Chain A
Amino acid sequence: MSSKDIKELGWDELVPGACLFSFTEPVENVVDLTMDERPYAPTNSHEASVGDWRVEKPVYNRDLCIDCQFCWIFCPDISIISRDKKMIGIDYDHCKGCGICVEVCPTNPKSLLMFPEQTDNEEALASWPEKEKK
């Protein structure tokens, strides 16, 4: 392997049988570490972003959330940040804007809603819809 950083290497310079490392140092049991505590290597996709794909983004309203965690379990991209059984936010680097979290949110009005990417989160929260009558 050359001394170049792996991200600088072109596809044709890759050594056959190369390993891509997830962490910069050995991690004994990764389930004991939350995502904030892990020593991610630059070659872990956690360090990458797909946020620029997105056309719509979910905005999250803490006042309405009941911490049911449906959004956490059904998010395909590990973008719902849950700590200690509480939903605390959205990881916009990894969210692709699929909208599943909004679809499965059971509160009325929903505590997650999709807004166009360029909308400011504060603005979005100010324009939150009222409770829907059934």
Chain B
Amino acid sequence: MTKKIRNLKEFSTSNDRYEGANLMCPGCSHNIIVREVLNATDNPVLIATATGCLEVCTAVYPYTSWDVSWIHIGFENASTAIASAQVMYEVLKRKGRLPESTMRAIEEGREPKFVAFGGDGATYDIGFQWLSGCFERGHDFMYVCLDNEVYANTGGQRSSSTPIGASTTTSPAGNVSYGEKMMKKSMVEIMADHGAPYVAQVAPNKWKDLVKKIQKGFETKGPVYINAMSACTTEWKHAPENTIDVSELGVESCVWPLYEIINERDEHGIIYSTKLNITYRPKNKIPVEEYLAAQPRFKHLFKPENRHIIDLWQKMVDIRWENLQKREEAGV
């Protein structure tokens, strides 16, 4: 049973299952995304969190900030933890050994949902093998990547999600370097190529789009991957109150396009149909420069000697946006 959310007023009657007084930074996008995901459904939700900001800040002994079942597991295996929990649930259900309250929830059409949260470090790099395995085996769960493009929890090292030109502690900008040298890895496409039935990219500022995609993901049987833009006040170095503005610039400049990929695959893993939908099209696509200018991690790019990186950025974003539109049109 999908929760009906027509507008923001209706959505605001949701009772949060995530508590304040956690130790996330003021203005952190992670919190906004977690709230939007949890409020998208009234079903029981089980959560596994990979090591990262979200995990260390929401379970600081002796406090917990979760009003849902929550498991903390290693940096790499949030996906396997929640997939195992889901399998265990299936087995107990088949054997009729679930607790009465869970049985009642299922009868009311409120099947428990299984979600794993991981940062970009846990997803793109460290947990990739585990994540890939879970998707290949086709477990029934949702993986949400809170992508802030840096290892923010351990001091801001570059990850394979860090985009070109960003200054991080292990790719610092200075006299000899303009910062990170590599382009960002395209995780959404990689996960879609695993044959996942539903893969989407979201941003917290477009809450309606996000909630719709999460609900679609919950209805989907099989592994679902959601890549969420998570502006980081500490490592992107913008002011806490600008979190939503920065996300907005990312979406409007097509640096962070909002789209979904729906795959149909059989039990042997043959993908016989792929459909890509762009779910938000900016009316006026703004230059990437505006997005970069809002974040001091890119401020060195505006020096004359680094201007060519901004041009590279624009070229990269334009090519990707063009490709997405072509794919949508061609239905592949």
Please report A residues at the B interface, Cβ cutoff 8 Å: 6-7, 9, 11, 14, 20-23, 26-35, 38, 43-50, 53, 67-70, 72-79, 82, 84-85, 91, 93-100, 102-104
Contact = CB atoms under 8 A, between A and B. Distances in A.
Interface string B53-66: 00000111111111
A46 B20 contact: yes
Interface in B201-255: 204-205, 207, 233, 239-245
Contacts of B245: 103
Interface stretch (B10-18, B176-184, B304-312): B10-18
A70 B64 contact: no
A85 B42 contact: no
A45 B19 contact: yes
A100 B243 contact: yes
B25 to A, nearest CB: 8
A72 B11 CA distance: 10
Interface stretch (B27-35, B81-89, B154-162, B322-330): B27-35
Nearest to A32: B15
B63 A20 contact: yes
A18 to B, nearest CB: 8
Listed from nearest, the 7 A-B pairs whose CB atoms lie closest are: A94-B20, A99-B241, A76-B31, A98-B27, A98-B26, A96-B26, A98-B240
Contacts, number: 153
A70 B223 CA distance: 31
Contacts of A84: 13
Count chain B CB atoms within 10 A of each CB in A47, A77, A91 and give the residue with the most: A77
A29 B67 CA distance: 10
Most buried by B among A53, A73, A82: A73
B147 to A, nearest CB: 17
B15 A73 contact: no
Given A45-B22, A93-B21, 17 more contacts: A29-B44, A30-B15, A30-B67, A34-B15, A38-B67, A43-B64, A46-B20, A46-B21, A69-B9, A74-B32, A74-B204, A76-B35, A79-B20, A85-B12, A96-B26, A99-B240, A103-B245
Contacts of B60: 45
Contact of B21 (A14, A50, A67): A50
Contacts of B27: 76, 96, 98-100
Pick from B31, B60, B104 the residue with the most CB of A within 10 Å: B31
Nearest to A99: B241
B182 to A, nearest CB: 30
Contacts of A91: 20
Contacts of A31: 14-15, 17, 42
A94 B13 CA distance: 19
A30 B11 contact: no
A76 B62 contact: no
A11 to B, nearest CB: 6
B242 A30 contact: no
26 contacts: A7-B62, A22-B64, A23-B67, A30-B17, A34-B15, A44-B63, A44-B64, A48-B63, A50-B21, A53-B26, A68-B9, A69-B12, A73-B12, A76-B29, A76-B32, A77-B20, A77-B21, A85-B12, A93-B21, A94-B19, A95-B20, A96-B25, A98-B27, A99-B239, A100-B27, A100-B243
A50 to B, nearest CB: 5
Contacts of A53: 26
A6 B62 contact: yes
Interface in B163-188: none
A45 B26 contact: no
Contacts of B11: 69, 73
A61 B4 CA distance: 30
B63 A73 contact: no
Given A73-B12, A76-B31, A103-B241, A97 B20 contact: no
